[in-house]
Amino acid sequence: MAEEKSESSAATSPDEIALELMKFIAVTTAYGKGIPSAGFGGKEKGGRSAEEYAEALLELFDRCRSAVRKTPK
């Protein structure tokens, strides 16, 4: 029974909620990927490298975590 309680509290921890929010925003908006050029099949000039994309996602996670931990007024 103690395991069930810890599993349910872990699923609703602020970091878990922030992670789910970050994933939702990243998937629905293509956050951090850059804007692809229409009709161009080669390597995109405006695209981001894997490191830049990872950095953008980490920044988004920090913003989501701050929003989740913010106390309501």
Residue boundaries of the structural domains of the chain: 2-69
pLDDT the model gives residue 16 = 94
Contact 57, 22 (CB under 8 A): yes
pTM exceeding 0.75: no
Q: Kindly give the residue spans of alpha helices, DSSP state H, lying in the chain.
A: 2-11, 14-29, 50-69
CA–CA distance from 71 to each of 14, 52, 60, 67, 68 (Å)? 12, 31, 19, 9, 8
Q: Give the C-alpha separation, 55 to 49, whole Å.
A: 10
- The pLDDT of 28-40, averaged and rounded, is 70
